[in-house]
Amino acid sequence: MSEDSTIFEQIAAGEIPARIVHETETILAFLDANPLAPGHTLIIPKEAYTKIGDLPDDVAAELWASAQSLTPTIETAVSADATTVGINNGSAAGQEVPHVHIHIIPRFDDDGGGPIHAVAGTRPELSDSELDDIAANIESADNIWTALGSSPEALAS
């Protein structure tokens, strides 16, 4: 582990204690030390990857499978009415620890929290033409990366 390892790397290495709720060879899930709600859980790959696009496919699949199986378990454990599941992918999105992590945040009727749409601030006013252009750009870029068998993030690393 490097000298500038993240808090999540230190937790995964057992150097910092955490309330671990799920662990595999690849994935670790633990209660957030500064929870937004009872049962707020973080799921991380044990190996450090900064953004979603950096994850190998097998790690991404296991990370998401863990979120899928843990979400109803967490809801039941804390008697939540629902959950918000989210990833802050990069500092502009609010990612404070540069290590991919999924938040599972239990939600309760009348908890005062808003929908995930509230995180983006003011909504842009986009014309049909602008939306068509954005969709075409995403589809085109995705086709190129699929053909190359890679992603922009993988090429940058």
Joined tokens for residue 22: 């799920």
Contacts of 127 (CB under 8 A, 6+ apart): none
47 closest CA partner among 69, 62, 34, 32: 62
CA terminus-to-terminus distance, the chain: 18
φ, ψ at 56 (rounded to 5°): -65, 150
The catalytically annotated residue of 40, 99, 101, 103 is: 101
Residue 101: active-site member? yes
Report DSSP letters for 93-143, one per residue: GT--SSS--EEEEEE-TT-----GGGGG-SPP---HHHHHHHHHHHHHHHH
Catalytic center residues: 101
